[in-house]
Amino acid sequence: MSSTSNSSGAAVAQAQVVELSEFKEQAAIGPAIFGGNLSLLDSVKVNLSVMVGEAQTTVGELMGLKEASVLKTDRKADYPIDIVVNGNVVARGQLVVVDDHFGVRITELAKAAHA
């Protein structure tokens, strides 16, 4: 970019036109990014959610909730819960107690999606 001065002496930038050649898709060459070495992804952090179920209510009912209120979800007690990564169910399991925490015992892995 070049610049000129305006009547007050301040520099004013002037736009330049740049010609770009048309992008033509080419065949990929060389090794794949990971080259079959998926262990490169081992330290990548992801957020995992455990979905016990969903509940629908009105704003009025929500505003009326108090301590000890119970929200009934759409899942039956013996139905597996979903383990979700980035909005995708990757497994299902059963809710368990581990020491003083909830945990999930994996009972089913999701089938791989094919593109």
Res 15: pLDDT: 83
Average pLDDT per 10 consecutive residues for the chain, totaling 115 residues: 63 80 82 84 93 94 95 92 94 94 95 66
DSSP E strands, 6-51: 11-14, 48-51
Phi and psi (nearest 5°) for 26? Answer: -120, 160
Domain with 49 in it: what CATH number? 2.30.330.10
Domain that holds residue 85: 45-115
Between the two ends of the chain, the Cα-to-Cα distance in Å is 45
Specify the number of domains making up the chain: 1
Res 89: pLDDT: 94
Residue 25 lies in a domain: no
Residue 68 lies in a domain: yes
Res 2: pLDDT: 57
Res 12: pLDDT: 72
Q: CA angle 102-105-109, nearest 5°?
A: 130
- Residue 27's Cβ-side half-sphere holds a number of Cα atoms within 13 Å equal to 2
Res 34: pLDDT: 81
